[in-house]
Amino acid sequence: MDAARAVSAAKAGLGIIDPQTDPRTRARLLWTLGRAEDIRHGEDSATGIRRRREALSLLTPAQDPKLYGDIGGELVAAYGRLDDWQTAADIYTGMLSAFDMLYRAQTSDAGRMNVMESSPNLARWAAYALARAGRTEQAIEVIEHGRARQLSVNLSRETADLVRLASVDSNVADRYQGALASYRVALARATQTPP
């Protein structure tokens, strides 16, 4: 990337993009400007971080979850290197919301698995930042929710070919189906709201 040209192009675009009518495009331009500033001034430059913060402030997790996660990911990495865990934890909270929206928008097990694979360590890193920020209870909730989601995806993607397994060892196939049924019952109970 030619940083000087990127800065010039991004600034020109910022001059004509209205944040009220097109916050996504403006956020992308600010993000590009932040990345170019880091090239010019070094990783985690104050101007690069400030531009990314401006970009993220234009978005909500629901507007563009992928973009929110991408910009947020660069910010939390920078704040982690700067040992600013409070700010990183705040951003991670928004990233978790964005991730949840992407995950819930999937209509297939394969789609959910792809979303999980796109951010395999998000819950762990978010929990770490939350714990470093002194939000221990929230950190525990985040890591447990992430582990439960991973287990749910792994069980629902039907990794075992039960017909072939049954031909080799019907006892193992029966036990697998029983465990899967028990898990689904427990999951249904856990998600029911009390009256």
What's the first-to-final CA gap in the chain, in angstroms? 58
Is the CB of residue 52 less than 8 Å from the CB of residue 30? yes
Q: What integer is the mean pLDDT of 1-12?
A: 77
Q: What integer is the mean pLDDT of 137-145?
A: 94
Q: What share of the chain is helix, strand, coil (3-state, %, to 5)?
A: 80, 0, 20
Q: Write out pLDDT tens, residues 67-121.
A: 999 999 999 999 999 999 999 999 999 999 999 999 989 887 778 888 888 888 9
Q: What is the pLDDT of residue 107?
A: 83
Is the CB of residue 61 less than 8 Å from the CB of residue 97? yes
Q: Which of 33, 97, 32 lies closest to 60, judged by CA?
A: 97
Q: What is the pLDDT of residue 157?
A: 57
Q: Dihedrals φ, ψ of 29, to 5°?
A: -65, -40
Query: Which tops the pLDDT comparison, 2 or 131?
Result: 131
Q: Which of 94, 85, 19, 97 lies closest to 58, judged by CA?
A: 19
Q: What is the pLDDT of residue 191?
A: 61
Q: What is the pLDDT of residue 1?
A: 58
Residue spans of the domains in the chain: they are 85-159, 162-195
Q: What is the pLDDT of residue 106?
A: 86
